[in-house]
Amino acid sequence: GGKDAINITIINFNKEKMQITWATRELFHNENVSFFYTFGEGKHKVWKPCTTYLLDQDYNSGCLFKTEGPTLAFSIRNSNGSEKLFSKQLKVDFYIKPSPPENVTFFWEEDTVTVSCNKPERSAHCLRLELQYKSKFDKEWQSRTAKCCNVREQGFDPRKCYSFRVRLSRRVPECNVAKYSSDWEAETFWMNGTLLDSCDDDVTTQPETEIVLSCSLAILLMMLILSILLCKWQRVRMSVLPAIPDPKYTFADLFNDHNGNLQEWLDKNDHVMLQTKLEYEEPESITEAESQQEDGKNSEKPGPLEKIFTFPGAAENNDSKAAEIACLIPASNTTAPFAGFNILMNDDMYVML
């Protein structure tokens, strides 16, 4: 209570310098106070005035001076030093703020990193080494603390770039009254055990690579789906609407040479048809003729005779080979096979497809 309860900040910078600050406008109503300190003990204390003031809007708000002993006594007085406004005595070793770690090294082994620094000569047991890291895809720092001066962490992705920073902190309440930590060591950037200047390149290239790969996979998937649908559609179309053969490919000369005139085409190719028919029906005709001769001997009424025709061209040209080509005229409504089609033939030799 009283004057000892006011807000005063005391920092011992690694046992080298002392810094004591106060809130001028709140505590002293913007009064420009003076500061005195001493490291002596007993009745013969030598009070020294502050030579280096810290200012807040042109008002004295703190003092910076050299650490000269383990025990400090100080007082805040009015502007001319005649009236004491606040005083306090303390052990400076309980207000130490350590210096940043020195000679920081990183050792990588697969997904594990070990960070080390030089061990301080004094009070190393009071110090803790804190490691913080994050990738560019993390919003907050991840923290890991261990005894001075070695910290080990695992689970790092070799495809990511990480930012690292380390600092030393004092143990509370074993060694310090206030929880003070050193300033952060310079930030470093690592990716899969390789030291980089920054992670900016990694941030810009990795999303572009992912976008290109995603688009390529999407295009390949769409092409595969379209191919499958096309094959399915072809099969459905063939089953529902089967293809109708085009006769012009079977009778190419009929459509190309005679413009579809069947009678003209037959007149030109009738000797080919007769020749083909003779080759297939000649043995059968001979057998039928012999059977009719035998029936004529045994019967008074002769059986019906087949009509025989010859080609006019054979009589006019006296071609002996053409004259010999003859066949039995098929009976009425006889079906004759030709080129894979059944042709219906009547007595007048008209062909109906």
Q: Which domains does the chain have, with CATH numbers?
A: 8-97 (2.60.40.10), 105-196 (2.60.40.10)
Sign, Cα dihedral of 282, 288, 291, 297? negative
Burial 322-347 (b: 16+ CB within 10 A, else e): beeeebbebeeeeeeeeeeeeeebee
Angle at 317 (CA atoms; ends 315, 318), nearest 5 degrees: 60
d(CA 125, CA 119): 10
- pLDDT, one tens digit per residue, over 250-297 is 666 667 777 777 777 777 776 555 555 555 455 544 555 455 555 555
d(CA 150, CA 128): 9
- All residue ranges of the chain with pLDDT < 50 are 1-4, 203-205, 280, 284-285, 289, 299-330, 350-353
Write out the two tokens for 280.
């297939």
d(CA 309, CA 345): 15
Give the per-residue pLDDT at 81. 84
Give the per-residue pLDDT at 293. 55
Residue owning tokens 């045994």? 298
0.75 exceeded by pTM? no
- pLDDT, one tens digit per residue, over 133-147 is 999 888 899 999 999
Sign, Cα dihedral of 184, 187, 193, 199? positive
Rounded mean pLDDT of the chain?
Answer: 76
Give the per-residue pLDDT at 325. 43
d(CA 22, CA 60): 9
Give the per-residue pLDDT at 323. 42
Residue among 101, 84, 1, 95 nearest 37 (CA): 84
Give the per-residue pLDDT at 31. 79
